[in-house]
Amino acid sequence: MRVYLDNAATTRCSDRAKELLLRLLSDDYGNPSSLHQMGKEAEDAVREARKKIAKTIKAEEKEILFTSGGTESNNLALLGAAYANMRAGKHIITTVIEHASVSAPLEFLTEQGFEVTCLLVDSCGRISIEELKNALRPDTILVSVMMVNNEIGTLQPVEEAAAVIKANNPDTLFHVDAIQAYGKYRIYPKRMGIDLMSVSGHKIHAPKGTGFLYIRDKAKVKPVLYGGGQQRGMRSGTENVPGIAAFGEAAAESYEDFERKTAHMRELRERLMRGITAVSGVSVNGAAQDGAAPHIVSASIEGVRAEVMLHALEEKGIYVSAGSACSSNKPAVSRTLKSIGLRPELLDATIRFSLCAHTTCEEINYAIETLCEMAPRLQKYAPRQ
C-alpha cells in the first residue's frame, strides 16, 4: 500500500492536466512567438490557461504572469517590487516564518541596502495585526506575508493585514505567498487588497516547473529576466506552453466541487490529528480548526528523530516530510517551529503530513494505525540521558 501524505511538497499531476500537457508536447508544439498558425495555436493555449486561472481568482487576464514556479514568483515579486519602488523608500516588512524563497531574496535585498523588518508570530504561528501596524513606516514600500505556512499550515489574516497596510499608505505594495493556500481557499486578491500573489503549479496537481505571479494592474514591478520581451516584457523567455496549459487545467479543476473537497480534507485532517495525538508524547503544532489550512498536519513525536520516523513510516509505504521537504534535504532547524516556541527537543522530532483532495479515509486510518504502532516502539530507543 502506498500512502502519499506529502502533498505540500508536491502532488500527482492530474489526468486532465497530463492529457493537455502531452498534446501540447507532441502535437501543438509551436512557439507562441511564431507568426504562423502553429504559433497561434500555442498562443491560444497560453491564453486559454490564462483565462482559466484569472477566473479562479477573479483577476484580469493581463494580471497573470506565468513563471517557472513558486520560487521564481516570490523572487520576481520581491526583487521586482523593491527595485521598481526604491525611490519611494527602502523599507520592507515580512514575517519570521516565510519560506526560503521569500526570506533569501529579502536577505539579498538587505545586502543591497534595503531594510527588512521581520514580524514575530504567536504560538500558533500567527502574526499580530497590531505589530504590523506599528512596524509600518512612511518609507515602507513592500509587505510580504505568506497566506498559509508550509510547515504548520497556519492561516494568516491577510485581509486585515491589507487593510492596515493600505490605511497607512495606499502605495505600499502587499505581496502574499499563496503557494500553500491556492486551491485550498478562494482568494480574490483585488477585493482582499493584495497587489502581488505567488502561486505554484505542482502543489495543485499541475506539472513541476509551472507557476504564476498575480500582479495587480498598475502595480510597479521590474522584470528579473530580460530578453525577447515575452509576456509583455515582464518575463522574457519562450513560454512553457505545455506546462502552462496543464497548469490552467489543474487550476480550474482544483476549484471545481471546491466546497466538498475542502470539507473532505478538513475532516480527514481532524481525524488524523485526533488519531495520532492519542499516542503518548505526540502533539500537533499550529492553529486549530479554521485557523489552519485543511491539508497540513505538523506532528511532534517526543523522543523520535523526524528522519527516523519518516523512514520508519516509509518502510510501511507512508510518505511524509521531516519539517519542511521543500527546503532541499538539509536537516537544518526549522525557523517556523522555533518561532512558535516549540520545545527544543521537539524541533528535530517533528514531521509533516499533508493531504490532498484525493486522500482517502482508509489511507488516513492506515497512517494513524501505523504511527500508533511505531511511535512507542521507536520511543523505546530514544537517546538515554
Residue 307 binds another protein (CB under 8 A) = yes
Residue 289 binds another protein (CB under 8 A) = no
Say how far apart CA 346 and CA 241 lie, in whole Å. 44
Task: Name which of residues 354 to 383 contact another protein (CB under 8 A).
Answer: 381, 383
Task: Name which of residues 141 to 180 contact another protein (CB under 8 A).
Answer: none
Q: Which member of 155, 164, 310, 320 binds another protein (CB under 8 A)?
A: 310
Say how far apart CA 276 and CA 270 lie, in whole Å. 10
Residue 311 binds another protein (CB under 8 A) = yes
Residue 314 binds another protein (CB under 8 A) = yes
Q: Which member of 96, 124, 312, 372 binds another protein (CB under 8 A)?
A: 312
| Catalytic (active-site) positions | 326
Of the candidate spans 6-14, 267-275, 324-332, 347-355, the one that interacts with another protein by CB under 8 A turns out to be 324-332
Say how far apart CA 323 and CA 336 lie, in whole Å. 9
Say how far apart CA 265 and CA 275 lie, in whole Å. 15
Of the candidate spans 30-38, 93-101, 237-245, 310-318, the one that interacts with another protein by CB under 8 A turns out to be 310-318
Say how far apart CA 142 and CA 95 lie, in whole Å. 12
- φ, ψ of residue 148 to 5 degrees: the values are -125, 130
| Residue whose C-alpha cell reads 501540447 in the numeric block | 24
Residue 233 binds another protein (CB under 8 A) = no
Closest CB 112 distance from another protein, rounded Å: 30
Nearer to another protein, 289 or 385 (CB): 385
Of the candidate spans 4-12, 140-148, 192-200, 306-314, the one that interacts with another protein by CB under 8 A turns out to be 306-314
Number of residues that bind another protein (CB under 8 A): 15
Closest CB 40 distance from another protein, rounded Å: 42
Element (H, E) at 344: helix 344-347
Query: Helix, strand, or coil here: 93?
Result: strand
Say how far apart CA 63 and CA 173 lie, in whole Å. 15
Say how far apart CA 169 and CA 89 lie, in whole Å. 12
Residue 104 binds another protein (CB under 8 A) = no
Q: Where does residue 269 rank: exposed (0-12), middle (13-18), buried (19+ CB within 10 A)? A: buried
Nearer to another protein, 244 or 371 (CB): 371
| Residue whose C-alpha cell reads 506529502 in the numeric block | 6
Residue 330 binds another protein (CB under 8 A) = yes
Length of the chain equals 385
- φ, ψ of residue 246 to 5 degrees: the values are -65, -40
Closest CB 253 distance from another protein, rounded Å: 33
Q: Which member of 331, 361, 362, 369 binds another protein (CB under 8 A)?
A: 331
Contact status, residue 296 vs residue 180, Cβ threshold 8 Å:
yes
Q: Footprint of another protein on this chain (CB under 8 A)?
A: 307-312, 314-315, 329-331, 381, 383-385
